[in-house]
Amino acid sequence: MKSVQQIVAVLKEKGYKITPQRLAIFEALEGNTSHPSAEQLFIALRKKHPTISFTTVYNTLQTLKDLGEIRELAIDPERRRYDPDLSSHHHAICSECGAIFDVYANFSHGLTLPEELKNSFIVKDFEINFYGRCTNCSSSETSHEV
């Protein structure tokens, strides 16, 4: 994601008002690698901004997504998650706790389209998701084994 100042400039240029609540959302997203859901952001922001509404958080995330300033991830079956990192990268998802980790590796050398798609489809980008257990969940499982 761009810096808070850059996001403010983009939204002002598009005619959006920059409220203290929106500014708080931008600040919460800047450098955020936890891939938060709207609910998670709302809970975190409400501590410092008790008047913020869930609707404001959700609508601001949608606006940022629509403007191409954040990416919506469809990797959590229960809720949408958001990634402010627009660089090309992949994700590793813990199936136990739901933690999402960024994976910065180039897998393009090992991937090819099936022959039947090569002439009718142009790949612009791709994302790989790895599913498993993070070390915290793996270590807690082994500590409970008998």
Confidence bin at 118 (pLDDT 50/70/90): confident
* Residue 5 to residue 8: CA distance in whole angstroms: 5
Domains in the chain and their CATH numbers? Answer: 4-81 (1.10.10.10), 87-144 (3.30.1490.190)
Rounded to the nearest integer, the mean pLDDT of the chain is 91
pLDDT, tens digit (0-9, with 9 covering 90-100), for 43-92? 999 999 999 999 999 999 999 999 999 999 988 888 999 999 999 999 99
